Amino acid sequence: VSRFNDITMAPPDPILGVSEAFKADDHEMKLNLGVGAYRTEDLQPYVLNVVKKVSCFIYSCSCLLHESVLCVYYICFEYVLKFDITFSYKICRQKILCWNGESISGTGSLRLAAALIERYFTGSKVLISSPTWGNHKNIFNDARVPWSEYRYYDPKTVGLDFDGMIADIKAAPEGSFVLLHGCAHNPTGIDPTPAQWERIADVIQEKSHIPFFDFAYQGFASGCLDKDALSMRLFAARGMELLIAQSYGKNMGLYAERIGALNVVCSSSEDAKRVKSQLKRIARATYSSPPVHGARIVANVVGNPDLFNEWKEEMELMAGRITSVRKKLYDSLIAKDNSGKDWSFILKHIGMFSFTGLTEAQIENMTSKWHVYMTKDGRISLAGLSSAKCEYLADAFIDSFH
Ligand code: PLP
């Protein structure tokens, strides 16, 4: 008998299962609204032009290929100082101390931060929104960090349960970590307004909580990096200490390169140095150092004003395509549906996702009858929709909702 015999089967990943079922379907109108990855109007993956340019440059510099340029040592945590777009080019100038550490995309940054919390804030809870990206619970469970939920989604309005959110953050034990989606909340597509962010910051400050931003979609909410960073800049401008787990997966289309950054903003440089030393230590024992290729791509784009501008333009185009299919889907629904149902949530939601409020049985109808694939919580990714298929999706919705 094998000594691995007692290991039970892990449950299948809910999102990967959706993609596999989609692949096996050969209907011409099929739609994969399950995966949160950007697609072109032809529903194909997109490689950004700036990424192509920079990759050619990197491959032409053979001396750059396999070691960090900074040192003979190959650990590349601080490979490029201007690496982080959330902070370094605006907020650090205001003398807020922070550590930008390259990390293994958004997930790796969250997991690194979770390890720090587990070690140095023993017993502290992380508050997560209900609902949230499915992996948050996995990550904190895996790191043995206790978590609880704060209200976020209001099914009655298909909008934000702001009073519930504030009440739950207030009721949590002092000094909890509050995980916030920096923009383009996953899975709901519902973001607080600037005034609501101020109020959230007030309560977090009153309770001496620590804000912890998951920033996986910078640029995908409004099409503008700066506008999308409003939430965390507002907290930082108050002098609050905070954590930010940043991903470059989506906004630079570098999904599989696994590149992101963990930023910890501390109120003294001494604290920042110590935090940094411990994060490096945790990383060293888990994955040693992050991959360098994605970091070089990001660094070269962010560090070159022309490429940086070109990237911003491409991001505007990507976000713009999503906004335009939202509008077309909404218009098709309004034109076809005479039931009086309020479809305006489609326009109000922001970023790739919308939370539709479809029940499991309705989702089953979407898939079995209409070949539309989505996650079981009723989330759709508008990135997987083309204008050519908006009317078809509207028909599927109307049929499934009624
Ligand atoms: N956070 C949220 C809210 C996400 O939706 C995702 C990806 O779907 C991530 C973090 C992690 O992204 P990655 O690890 O691919 O950068």
CA 68, 113, 203, 130 dihedral sign is positive
For residue 226, the CA-to-ligand 1 centroid distance in Å is 20
**pLDDT score for 88:** 44
In a 3-state reduction of DSSP, which class is residue 174? coil
Is the confidence at residue 84, as pLDDT, over 60? no
Amino acid at 225: L
**pLDDT, position 62:** 58
Is residue 34 predicted with pLDDT exceeding 50? Answer: yes
Q: Which of 214, 228, 276, 389 is catalytic?
A: 214
pLDDT surpasses 60 at 94: no
The tens digit of pLDDT for each residue in 279-313 reads 888 988 988 878 878 888 888 888 788 999 999 99
Q: pTM for this one?
A: 0.92
Beta bridge partners of 128: 149
Token output for 357? 């409020």
Identify whether 214 is a catalytic site residue.
Answer: yes
Considering 84, 99, 125, 133, which one is annotated as catalytic? 133
Say if residue 200's pLDDT is above 90: yes
- From the CA of 3, how far away is ligand 1's center (Å)? 35
Per-residue pLDDT for 27 more than 70? yes
Binning pLDDT at 50, 70 and 90, where does residue 11 land? confident
- The reported pLDDT for the residue numbered 228 is 92
Would residue 191 show up in a list of annotated catalytic residues for this protein? Answer: no
Probe residue for ligand 1, chosen from 128, 247, 381 as the CB with the greatest number of ligand atoms within 8 Å: 247
Kind of pairing between the strands at 353-355 and 379-381: antiparallel
- Index of the ligand 1 atom closest to the CA of residue 181: 3
pLDDT in tens, 129-160: 999 999 999 999 999 999 999 999 999 988 99
Structure tokens at 268: 């003294």
CA 162 to centroid of ligand 1, rounded, Å? 24
CB 370 within 8 A of CB 25: no
Instruction: Name the residue with the closest Cα to ligand 1, atom 7.
Output: 216
What is the average pLDDT value for the chain, to the nearest integer? Answer: 88
The mean pLDDT of 70-89, rounded to a whole number, is 44
Q: What pLDDT, on a 0 to 100 scale, did the predictor assign at position 233? A: 86
Q: At what angle do helices 360-368 and 390-401 cross, to 10 degrees?
A: 140
Residue type at position 232: M
Distance from the alpha carbon of residue 332 to the mean position of ligand 1, in angstroms: 31
42 counts as catalytic: no
Q: Name the residue at shortest CA distance from atom 1 of ligand 1.
A: 216
Q: What local confidence, expressed as pLDDT, does residue 79 receive?
A: 43
User: Which of 13, 16, 107 has most ligand 1 atoms within 8 Å of its beta carbon, as the pocket-test mutant?
Assistant: 107
* Segment 311-316 long-range contacts (CB within 8 Å, at least 24 positions apart): 311/48, 311/50, 311/252, 312/219, 312/224, 312/225, 314/48, 314/49, 314/50, 315/219, 315/220, 315/223, 315/224, 315/225, 315/251, 316/223, 316/224
- Is residue 390 predicted with pLDDT exceeding 60? yes
Cα separation values, 330 from 193, 270, 402, Å: 22, 52, 17
The reported pLDDT for the residue numbered 290 is: 80
**Measured from the CA of 108, which atom of ligand 1 is nearest?**
14
- Nearest C-alpha to atom 13 of ligand 1 is from which residue? 106
The residue contributing the CA closest to ligand 1 atom 4 is 216
CB-based contacts of 121, cutoff 8 Å, min separation 6? 175, 177
User: Residues with Cβ within 6 A of ligand 1?
Assistant: 36, 105-107, 133, 181, 186, 214, 216, 247, 249, 260
320-378 pLDDT, tens digit each: 999 999 999 999 999 999 999 999 999 999 999 999 999 999 999 999 999 999 999 99
Which single residue is written with the structure tokens 């101390």?
A: 97
Instruction: Give the pLDDT mean for 2-8.
Output: 95
User: Is residue 99 predicted with pLDDT exceeding 80?
Assistant: no
Q: 253 CA to middle of ligand 1, Å?
A: 12
Which atom number of ligand 1 is nearest to the Cα of residue 105?
A: 16
Backbone angles phi, psi at 111, to 5 degrees: -70, -35
Considering the candidates 99, 125, 147, 250, report the single residue annotated as catalytic: 250
Cα 5 to ligand 1 centre (Å): 33
- 326: CA distance to ligand 1 center in Å? 22
pLDDT for 100 equals 57
238 against 163, higher pLDDT: 163
Q: Which of 135, 248, 298, 352 to mutate to test the pocket of ligand 1 (most atoms within 8 A of CB)?
A: 135
Region 243-254 average pLDDT: 92
